[in-house]
Amino acid sequence: MEQNIIISIGTYKAISLAALLVAGAWYASRRFTGVEIRVGAMEERMRTMEGRIDRAFSGSSPLALLEKGEALLRASGLKRYIDDHRERLIAEWRRKGAAADPYYIQESVFVFFDELDFERSVLRGMRAAAFDHGVNIDVVRRVGGIYFRDLCLAASGFDPKDLAS
């Protein structure tokens, strides 16, 4: 024997239930966004720590390439790539939100460089250099980002050597 169950709720209850579901989804979304931001900040700290541990760049401010970082920059082909595409890269960085103060210039350059899509041949060189020097590919990107940051600082009227006080 089959029985049909019918649930009847009023219009106000249906609207209240829908509002409750929307508010719950909004709250959960805010919580997940907060977690994503914290995870992103932790990834950034880990990337910087890896480079310092690998002795590719200094831990002082502003970050500066050490001997191993200079070697990575050359071996990966990033120095040649950045020098060959300097004007285009700086123009693209400025379009994506360049900043006027050295701290924000560094931050915006690092975000720009972390998201930059490299040609296949450049990526091969970056991976080979990372493997040969025993570092993570993110460290190679950061080394390139530090070099590019200095170019962007100079293009924005700052001398990177004057900032190291």
| 138 close to 122: Cβ distance less than 8 angstroms | no
Give this prediction's pTM.
0.69
What is the length of the chain?
A: 165
Domain borders along the chain are 35-164
Over residues 76-109, the pLDDT tens digits come to 999 999 999 999 999 999 998 767 788 889 889 9
Over residues 96-149, the pLDDT tens digits come to 876 778 888 988 999 998 899 999 999 999 999 999 998 888 889 999 999 999
Q: What are phi and psi of 7, to 5 degrees?
A: -110, 130
| 55 close to 66: Cβ distance less than 8 angstroms | yes
Handedness of CA 114, 84, 130, 70 (dihedral sign): negative
